[in-house]
Amino acid sequence: MSQAQKVSTRSGFVKFFSDAPVEDITAENNQVSSILNLEDGSFAFLVPIKAFQFEKALMQEHFNENYMESGKFPSASFKGSIADYTKIDLSKDAKYTLQFKGTMTVHGESQEITKEVILVVKGGKVSVQAEFLLKCSDYGIEIPTAKKDNISNEISVTVKFEYA
C-alpha cells in the first residue's frame, strides 16, 4: 500500500538560466529522476550534471570541467519534503501552491532551502513545477573576475516533473 503512494519519474526536466551583461546562458536536462511520496509529502530529486545540454559545445565543456567539476560531483540533489503536507485527493483535479523545504546539494555543498512549488493533479496523475533562484557563491562555485560579465552569480532554475 505504501509503495503505491510513491510516484516517480526518470525523465524529469530541469532548466537553468544565467542573465549576465555580456551573455545569457541556458541549459536543459531531461534526465532528472524524482520521487514524491503522496502519503507524507517527502520529495527528492537527483540531477545528473553531465546531462545538461547547452547551445554551444564549448560552454557545456567549461560548465562541467571548470565550474561544476562534474567528474568530482556528478550530480546535484534535493532531499526534503513539502511543508505542511496534507494528503491530496487524486480523484479530484486541482492545483495547489505549496512550499518545499529541505537540503539542496550542488557542487558538493549543501544548503537548506525553502521554495514555492505548484502541484497539479489532473486525471489521477500528479505533476510539480517550481521556479527559484540559486546563488553560485552558496555552493562554492567560483566565477573568476574576468567572467563576471558573462556568468551571473544568481541562477534561475526551473524544475518540472510529471509523475507516473
Partner 1 sequence: MAELEQADANKTEYAFATWKGTKVVNLQTNELPGKGVLQYTILHRFGAFNDDFFYNFMGLDNAQVRLTLDYSPTSWLNVGLGHTGFRKTYDVFAKYRLLRQSKGARKMPVSVTGFSSAYYSAIRVSDGVDRTFGRRMSYVHELVIARKFSQNFSAQIVPTLIHSNLTNRAADNNTQIAVGIAARYKITPMHAITVEYVPVLNPNQYPDLSADPLALPMNVPYSNFTNALSVGIDIETGGHVFQLFVTNARGVAEPFAFTQTDGSWLDGDLHFGFNISRVFTVSN
Tell me the three cell numbers of residue 32: 532528472
Q: Residue 159 in contact with residue 129, Cβ under 8 Å? A: yes
Chosen residue from 150, 153, 156, 158 binding partner 1 by CB under 8 A: 150
By CB under 8 A, which span of 64-72, 92-100, 118-126, 153-161 interacts with partner 1?
64-72
Q: Does 56 bind partner 1 (CB under 8 A)?
A: yes
Q: Does 65 bind partner 1 (CB under 8 A)?
A: yes
What does the per-residue mask of binding to partner 1 show for 97-136, with x meaning CB under 8 A?
----------------------------------------
Bridging pattern class, strands 53-54 and 75-82: unpaired
Radius of gyration of the chain (CA): 17
Cα separation, 149 vs 164, in Å, equals: 41
Question: What is the SS3 assignment for 90?
Answer: coil
Cα separation, 75 vs 57, in Å, equals: 20
Q: Does 30 bind partner 1 (CB under 8 A)?
A: no
Chain residues in the site for partner 1 (CB under 8 A):
8, 10, 33-35, 44-46, 48, 50, 55-58, 61-62, 64-67, 69, 71-72, 74-75, 77, 79, 144, 146-147, 150
